[in-house]
A = this chain, B = another copy of it.
């Protein structure tokens, strides 16, 4: 890469559509995103997916933009790839639109682009088109990225939040709350030192492995904003069923549990960015968990509860001493904003 541009910061001219914009795009974005489908024109020309197409968009404004376990670039790929994976869709194409604050260091921008390149490769998705805007100092906080993904829905898979059935098992693909906890510690000056990293990861290959083992899946949902608790409440409402969780079986990293204990937070409401909820018939659950535990990002997969006919629309927690408590309804500001 041209050291001339690497030493610079982003200026308004880099977003004005002229020569400097081309330099920024060539040296930072095109250099990292190169693939046969990436366009330099206003629109990419692509072979559409075969069968049904899944489309998802997500804006990323996480602060800080760099955190243990990832950065906003990695997150912007994982978030959209995982949204597609939740529909049983293989990610094919991705667009990304940047809004960058004047004065943002070019080497940091390259680090973000590099993380996007690596994560997109891992997920098997092509970045096909992009956009770059520069906002004046103070008009935006650092860098915002919006990604939109297009995927091909694999044959024979039909999943959706309204498809949970009484008797189904509730599975999480890994330990919960790590991303939310990481961002919380980075943002707030709490004086807590803890060895916690975001779980941020692209999960298409994980979902694919499960789908290769069984097509008998009812719901796949990534537990981002609002965490596993919010996702389960949504599913309970959409499917008009109850959810009963077994507190003892919910995987939480001890450090996350420790931080939550100190701050009075419930890990079920802390965001994950590399952990999903899967709901499937009870008789499929064991092999799903077995498959998950062989995948790199789901070694801590576990069955955490079941779907019930009773208490439709509610999520109930069975404690280790056998008492039952209603999980509080999510609402209001779920600190911190994590994507």
Name A's B-contacting residues (CB within 8 A).
11-13, 15-21, 41-61, 63, 83-84, 86-87, 89, 93, 95-99, 128-135, 138-141, 144, 146, 148-151, 153, 160-161, 221-222, 224-226, 230, 329-334, 337, 339
Contacts and interface: CB of A to CB of B under 8 A. Distances in A.
A61 B100 CA distance: 11
Contacts of A329: 19
A86 B129 CA distance: 15
A315 to B, nearest CB: 14
Given A15-B337, A45-B54, A48-B49, 9 more contacts: A11-B333, A46-B54, A47-B52, A48-B53, A58-B97, A59-B97, A59-B98, A59-B133, A133-B339
A57 to B, nearest CB: 4
Given A141-B140, A331-B20, A99 B59 contact: yes
A20 B11 CA distance: 37
6 smallest A-B Cβ distances: which pairs?
A17-B225, A48-B48, A148-B148, A43-B56, A146-B146, A57-B95
Contact of A42 (B21, B61, B95, B222): B222
Contact of A55 (B17, B93, B330, B333): B93
A156 to B, nearest CB: 14
A192 to B, nearest CB: 22
Contacts of A337: 12, 15-16, 133-134
